[in-house]
Amino acid sequence: MSDTPSNDPAKAAPAANEREKKAVEALLARAPVVTMGSVVVAGGERVDYGACCEYLPVRRNGFGEARDDADAAVFVTAYTRTGVAPADRPLCFAFNGGPGSSSVWLHLGALGPKRVVVPDDATMPAGPYAVQDNPLTWLRHFDLVFIDPPHTGWSAASGDEARKKMLSVDGDVAALTEVMRVWLTRHGRWGSRIFLAGESYGTTRGAALAESLLDAHVALHGLILVSCAMDIQSLFYSPRNDLPYATYLPAMANTAQYHGCLTGSLGASPQAAREAAEAFVMDDYLRALHAGSRLDGRERTRIARRLAALIGLPPALVEEHNLRIGAHSYFVELLRGRGLQIGRLDSRATGPLGAARGREVLFDPGIEAIASPYAMAAMAYFREGLGLDDERRYEFLSIDTHKAWNWNRGDAKGNAYCSTSDDLSRALRRNPQLRVLAASGRYDLGTPYSASDWSLAQLDVPPEVMARVEHRYYDAGHMFYTRQADLQKLADDLAAWLGAGAAAAST
């Protein structure tokens, strides 16, 4: 029996690519969906705004017939204040991370005029789930443009070649640079002051975009990094990479104190636990890790006991792990005696271990507490609040995208750790107007605050440039803004940072 077009790979691939190309063209041909709204912000002021949802092209560069063909249709949601001259309004582009995440978390968690409200204690609420007005919306300061990168949300690529290019660190940065260029041109906003806000892998992306946009002649005024991940080496456990064992330790100590696993002065307060762990890392732990088998028996025992005391585990377990407790072990070991595991993205959260109390991490209580509430509230808001009627699957977090990601940069191949902190360092040196606000949750065991401390401290800039970089801390997890007190603190910190920037610019 001869092959049919549907099962002949040589014929099926071009046909699929053609279908995807036509689908992208159809998305780009759709008219923007515009709605109007208002929100009363903190202080009682009413802010009227327009919301515009549309697809923007990622067009090819270079020469030849393919130049300006669309590699992707990228879905964006923009909120612009009405009754105000656009030239007087700063503009903030925002995105989440993954890679593979849509922008829904920042959009409906902290920045936008609507917000999904969940319990402060990292537990999952009961339904039904819906958005509420957000009086702390960043519309008070900026017009907002939320970008769903290619392969997230409803954004789509035009075929295999385009997909392969954009499923990479550099390809993704190039795509978003192009999306922002198109948005600025289409909406006549080249005269606005431009800011970026990224979360998690969005900070990996954001740090690189600070320089990529500069190369495209867009000079940023500010970059907001929520839950930093610029240097993957500080976050990724692998053989012969001892750095994460040190960068995670203070956040683990903070978590152990929260769950009542520390004794004496260490258990007195989260600050006491953190400070003791930070001092131990600098004074003893890094040296012990570097020594390896050269560490003598007495010193090894001392290190094991102190490490165990700081993170709330038995010394024997620390010894069994060769003085190296990775995060995945910690998730299932800290509260094993209670039959619980702790969360990764919010280590205050807990979930039950299986009856056999296995040691495999099968889910994250920290993300389970918010994923469905956000998704269900978002889908209702998209249809009822923004007028979007689309039955295609909205990719909140695409695992396929995450798995397919190319972490190499440039022509590199192999196992190099991805880093974009050098991009940010160069952007800071090249652009004297660029200021950075980093924000970290102390109960984040995905991108720990202590790893962000290390990463920011490694920026290749002189002291006078480093003075333009600030780091603020919050008492929840990766999406710390889900806690009302931290949402308020973020709003206060942002206002103070913007005020300081305006004052510096006027001198």
pLDDT score for 7: 62
Place of tokens 């606005």: 192
- What would the mean pLDDT of 422-444 be, rounded to a whole number? 98
pLDDT score for 411: 80
Domain extents for the chain?
A: 31-233+370-506, 242-366
456 close to 469: Cβ distance less than 8 angstroms: yes
- What would the mean pLDDT of 17-25 be, rounded to a whole number? 88
Q: Residues 170-215: pLDDT tens digits?
A: 999 999 999 999 999 999 999 999 999 999 999 999 999 999 999 9
- What would the mean pLDDT of 61-90 be, rounded to a whole number? 85
Report the percent of the chain where pLDDT is more than 90. Answer: 85
- What would the mean pLDDT of 349-373 be, rounded to a whole number? 92
Collapse the DSSP code of 419 into the 3-class scheme (helix H, G, I; strand E, B; otherwise coil) and give the result.
Answer: strand
**Which helix H or strand E contains 59, and what residues bound it?**
strand 46-59
Residue 336 tokens read as: 């094993």
Q: Quick one: pLDDT band at residue 64, thresholds 50, 70, 90?
A: low
Residue 325 tokens read as: 């407790």
Sign of the alpha-carbon torsion through 449, 454, 459, 462 = positive
pLDDT score for 6: 53
Could you count the other beta carbons within 10 Å of the beta carbon of residue 386?
Answer: 18
Q: Residues 79-137: pLDDT tens digits?
A: 999 999 998 899 999 999 999 999 999 999 999 999 999 999 999 999 999 999 999 99
Q: Residues 272-288: pLDDT tens digits?
A: 999 999 999 999 999 99
Report the percent of the chain where pLDDT is more than 70. Answer: 96
- What would the mean pLDDT of 491-497 be, rounded to a whole number? 98
Closest CA to 331 of 313, 319, 347: 347
Rounded CA-CA distance 332/364 in Å is 11
Mean pLDDT of the chain: 94
- The residues pairing with 340 across neighbouring beta strands, listed in sequence order, are 352
Q: What is the pTM of this model?
A: 0.94
pLDDT score for 60: 80
**Buried b or exposed e, range 459-494, using 16+ CB within 10 angstroms:** bebeeeeeebbebbbbbbbbbbbbbeebbebbbebb
- The residues pairing with 36 across neighbouring beta strands, listed in sequence order, are 50
Could you count the other beta carbons within 10 Å of the beta carbon of residue 244?
Answer: 21
Q: Residues 447-483: pLDDT tens digits?
A: 999 999 999 999 999 999 999 999 999 999 999 999 9
Q: Quick one: pLDDT band at residue 8, thresholds 50, 70, 90?
A: low
Report CA-CA distances (Å) from 429 to 147, 176, 196, 423, 464: 27, 22, 18, 10, 10
Rounded CA-CA distance 487/479 in Å is 10
Task: Classify 31-233+370-506 by CATH class.
Answer: alpha beta
Residue 337 predicted with pLDDT over 70: yes
Rounded CA-CA distance 258/117 in Å is 23
Residue 404 predicted with pLDDT over 60: yes
- The residues pairing with 356 across neighbouring beta strands, listed in sequence order, are none
Residue 3 predicted with pLDDT over 50: no
